[in-house]
Amino acid sequence: VAIDLVDKLIHIFRQGLSDSFYPVPQQAIGVGSAFEGWSPHARDVYCVLVPLSSPRGHAFHLELDTAGMLQRNFCVRVELLCTCTREQQGEDMLCFLHHPEEELRRRQDPSLLHTLCTGSYLGVEKTVHWFYQFVRVAWLLLPDSRHWCLILQPSSRSCKFQLSKDDESFTIEIVFGVQQGDSDIFVGSQPAETGIPSTTWLETCAVAEAKFFRHISRQAPQDSWHCKCLQLLTRFLTGVGFSSYALKTVVMHLLNTIPPTQWRREDFRQRLVDILKYLHCSLETKQLHHFVLGNANFPMEISLPSGFRVAAPPNLFEHLASSLDDHAKAVQEYIQLLHW
């Protein structure tokens, strides 16, 4: 339902704003626990990534901003392209580069540089605000609006709204992304720590990870319990010591080494033991490698940027090595998991 609704909104966008110079949203991609099959929440939050492509007369260029311990930050530079040949071929568009500004202002909508950019760079918060305004209008054009109540939940780096009908209720969170080449790695608008610049887009492997879970599901028997293992353990996390993403990373590493046929119901207890052993070892060494970046054994059918598989893998437990308090909290949470 979540993907279907977002795609309907995108279809309305394509119909109503096809001649504008705003980013062009592509088909939504489901990411995160709800689409990977292990959501620990009773009320699901459906996170979808909507790829953005550049509008006519524009090009997107990804520029590495900073390379942090766990994540690389990018800026999306917007370049104006010459469209004089399009005009000569009868296309109804003036060239932003070669027509006088006065004529452009009179006859054509402003370029993306003058709407959602700060300087030459696409703004995350401006893009999210623009899409929020669009959703307010587009929702009324959908037949679904007669049956569902939509409540917008403002967020500066994602478009979040709750849908409710009778006793049903769920939340959709739209994250925007720009694709790295033709790979399954994006730079995205996902929420981050406070104080991050509004033109900073964070590298995300969410699409590649969702494809990995689908890759495993195609190989696994129908009664595979690999998602149930992850779902059960994440329900007991308090998020104080380590995140559900760290636990998911452990399970992905094991799924890549233990054959899918050994995750059946009768293997459930042993797989839980394997997960906890792997987690214990990671806590002792204060080292948990990122699953996608730097993993030479990542499935070749999932497209990654050049050099991604052979890069140095980030350590998700780097913070535990630098903080005794954080490490103590993580060990305490692990002991609670063992108890449960």
**Residue 107 CB burial class (10 angstroms; 0-12, 13-18, ≥19):** exposed
The class level of CATH for 220-339 reads mainly alpha
pLDDT for the residue 88: 57
Predicted TM-score (pTM) of the model is 0.92
Q: What is the pLDDT of residue 323?
A: 92
| C-alpha–C-alpha distance, residues 252 and 292, integer Å | 9
CA distance 291 to 285: 17
Per-residue pLDDT of the chain (340 residues; tens, 9 = 90+): 788 999 999 999 888 777 789 999 999 999 999 999 998 876 678 999 999 999 999 999 999 987 666 788 999 999 999 998 865 565 778 999 999 999 999 989 999 999 999 999 999 999 999 999 999 889 999 998 998 999 999 889 999 999 999 888 899 999 999 999 999 999 999 987 777 899 999 999 999 999 999 999 999 998 899 999 999 999 888 777 888 999 999 999 999 999 999 999 999 999 999 999 999 999 999 999 999 999 999 999 999 999 999 999 999 999 999 999 999 999 999 998 888 8
Domain limits of the chain?
1-205, 220-339
Which fold is adopted by the domain 1-205? Beta Polymerase; domain 2 (3.30.460)
Q: What share of the chain is helix, strand, coil (3-state, %, to 5)?
A: 40, 20, 40
